[in-house]
Amino acid sequence: MKTLLLKFLSIPVLAGALTMSGHGQLGSSRTVEGAGCVWEGEEAGCLMVTDRESDITYNLLISGEKPAPGTGIFFMGTLHQGQTSCMQARPVDVKSWVKRKGMNCSAPQKKRPNPY
């Protein structure tokens, strides 16, 4: 009986820990880098890049000069902790970015919204 009670009490604790780790609330910030074409998000002022290598879409949080939509860039930063006004893709606090010559970004791409 005690074992059964212990199992039922441990399930919510385990579920809570898994939920927090899935949302980046546990551990330190992680370094991110990627390259792709910049495109406008659904919300005004939101810039997105879908990394060409991993196919992961990032929401670029850039202070200072921002790349124009349709520009090919390489960026480095850390995963953003907390919510953003864009509510789309994985938010990244961009530390640096450079324009990539030779990256074909003829038309700014719009990717379908993430269903999650």
pLDDT along the chain (116 residues), means of 10: 56 52 52 94 92 94 94 96 90 96 72 56
Q: How many CB atoms lie within 10 A of CB 90?
A: 16
- Total-model pTM: 0.67
What was the pLDDT predicted at 70? Answer: 92
What was the pLDDT predicted at 8? Answer: 54
Q: Are 74 and 33 in contact (CB under 8 A)?
A: yes
Q: Are 111 and 48 in contact (CB under 8 A)?
A: yes
- The domain limits of the chain are 31-99
CATH of domain 31-99: 2.40.50
What was the pLDDT predicted at 107? Answer: 58
